[in-house]
Structure 1
């Protein structure tokens, strides 16, 4: 069975392109950063607790 592809909104895509073009980061590095788990020391995105870890 084929896996469903993730979709990203236009703002997210524009942000990724901006990181690559303005900051000069390699595409592979940006992709790796975006695929890695959320760092524990960073405040979490909406839907997560303040420590950046998923609530269990």
Structure 2
């Protein structure tokens, strides 16, 4: 595929993104929650027991 138009000509410059303190706080809380969920899943992964151990272990 060849292009005859310079892509720099159609580029629109946007001002740099500045996150608000509220957005930063919400993203930080989300990161904490996801890290906690990951650790809970990891703990569950290593504590699977019973007749369906292999299937459940592979799911987690």
Give TM-score scaled by structure 2 length.
0.31
| Higher Cα radius of gyration | 2
Considering Cα pairs closer than 8 Å and 6+ residues apart, tell me whether 1 or 2 has the greater RCO. Answer: 2
Larger fraction in helix: 2
Q: TM-score, normalised by structure 1?
A: 0.32
